[in-house]
Every structure is written in C-alpha cells, then in structure tokens.
Amino acid sequence: MSEELKKNLNKQSNRNWVRAALSLRYFKQGFETFVRNEVRGHHADILKRLQEEEGVLSLHCGECTSDNLLPQHSVQKKCIQKNRKHCFCSEQFCRRHCPNKVCSYLYDYIVKAHSNNDPLWTNTDPSKWLTDYWELGKCFLSTFGYADKQSAADTDATGLLSIAINDTYIQERMDTDIESLAKVKDTRNIILHSAALSLEDDVVIKYIDEMIQVLQDRKAFASDATAKDAIVHLNELKNVQCHISFEDELEVREETLKAIEDMTHEKRIICNIIKQINFFIDIK
C-alpha cells in the first residue's frame, strides 16, 4: 500500500465513512438469512392456503404474465388494491383469469398480504410465482430496479428491508416495529450519499446501534448464528480504533459505486415510464 493511500485511509473523516459503509455490509449479512427464510415460508403458506381455502387442485402454471393475468377480484365491482391504477384489473383488455385457476387467486393473496395493499409489480414475473419463492417476495419491494435479482443474496439491504416492511407475514414474525426498520433503510441511503462528506464518531455509532437493535430482535433472530456474528462485527466497528484494511475500504467503495449506479439506472427507468405516460396523455 502506498504512503498516500495509507494517509487517506487514516483520515478520521474517511475512516468514519468506511466504518459506516462496512456496518451496512455486516447488517445485510445478518438480516439476509432471516428475510430469505421468511419469504420462503410465506410462499409455502400461501400455496397451502390456496388449496385449503380456495379449493385449488393444481399448483402448476406457467402461462400467466404481467401482460395477460387478470386478478380474481376483477369479478367484483371494487378493486382490492389500494391504488387501482397499479392493479392488473384497471386495464382488462387482453387479460384473462388464470386458465389453471391458481394465479388469479395468488395475485389477490399477495395484495392482501401487503401492508399497504399496494404491491409494486414491476420487479416480479407472475409466471414464476408458483415455483420461485423469491419471485413472489419481490412483490413486496418498494422501488424499481430489482427485476434481475434472483435471490436474497442478490438483493441489497434496502431491498431486504423493504420486503420486511411491506410483507405482513414477516412483520408477524418480528418484534421490531416498522419505524425501526424504516430508520435503518433511510440510514443506508444516507451513508451511500455521504462518501464525500464528514461523518462524526457519534453519528456512525448511532447508525450502528440502529442496525444492532434490529438484529437483536429475539423473536426473529433468537437462534440465528449469522445475525449474532454480524452483531459482533458491528460492535467492533463502534470502536474508532477498529482495524480497517485497505482491501475492506476498496470493497465498500466499489459496492457503493455499484449501488449508486443501480439507483441512477432506476431513475432512468422511472423517467422513461413518465415520458411514455405523458406521450399517451398528449395523444388523448
């Protein structure tokens, strides 16, 4: 390592940001297993309920997509999704109920399990809902940009927290309130955008304590060795004199750059959607 790089790493403002960024990595590692397991459990629970409550005989389909699926509730006069403009029932032209009598019901169960009854469907592929539990989990994400994420491991901390915040099945298996989860989610975004700013010691410790509080949830992580290991690392990072290798710094900076690039890509997607909407409005 060059003397210049060592000097840069040893600057307190730089060390504090690296400590904060590393804490996000450890939090994600500790939180990931729980979310993955609960999404898998929710998937199995919904499929079981479809058979018991709706009399679905076969849990097989691959014909339903975001373009052709019509929700089961479309037979009613009132939409069950909070924002009807987001619902597949708002534009019924070229749509039909699931020919295997399962995906339409599954759509409704997802809406009802969402904390705001308003899933974002952009990230998910309905043709995989029955066979891929993570594809169902992606219905509970709050923002665009996760369509290509195939697992909890591929999903960043913001995405994992969004799923936990929006999925009532997961909420029932935690003592931690939504506000605490949202606070860590906001903290992650603050840290990403503060790489060029100074972070005080007490601010970094505050962020880390918020993460530790979530991972200490006894109901969710009582027997989770990964979460306990993450807490150990997080407590080490609270020490301003903790060891931070140059390799660690490079890795978190690369991770941050990738996250910012993903966020920029997401903004482009949103802008393109808005342009398309305005184009059709102008036509009308």
pLDDT digits (tens, 9 = 90+) for 61-89: 999 999 999 999 999 989 999 999 999 99
199-239 per-position pLDDT tens digit: 888 999 999 999 999 999 999 999 999 999 999 999 999 98
CA–CA separation, 20 and 188 (whole Å): 9
Closest CA to 215 of 144, 160, 152, 141: 160
Longest dimension (CA), the chain: 71
Q: What are phi and psi of 12, to 5 degrees?
A: -60, -40
Residue 277 is predicted with a pLDDT of 41
Where does the pLDDT of residue 167 fall: very low under 50, low under 70, confident under 90, or very high at 90 and above?
A: very high
Q: Which domain holds residue 222?
A: 3-283
H/E stretch holding 235 reads helix 225-237
Residue 253 is predicted with a pLDDT of 61
In this structure, are residues 130 and 106 in contact, taking their beta carbons and an 8 Å threshold? yes
3-class SS of residue 151: coil
CA 201 to chain centre: 28
Tell me the β-bridge partners of 167.
114
CA–CA distances in Å: residue 270 to residues 24, 149, 236, 276: 26, 18, 39, 10
CB contact set of 34 (below 8 Å; sequence gap of 6+): 220, 221, 224, 227
Closest CA to 159 of 263, 70, 66: 263
CA–CA distances in Å: residue 139 to residues 30, 37, 208, 211: 22, 16, 29, 24
Token look-up 């890509």 returns 265
Where does the pLDDT of residue 158 fall: very low under 50, low under 70, confident under 90, or very high at 90 and above?
A: very high
Q: Between 275 and 116, name the one with better pLDDT.
A: 116
Q: How many domains in the chain?
A: 1
**pTM: predicted TM-score of the whole model, two decimal places:** 0.84
Tell me which amino acid residue 268 is: R
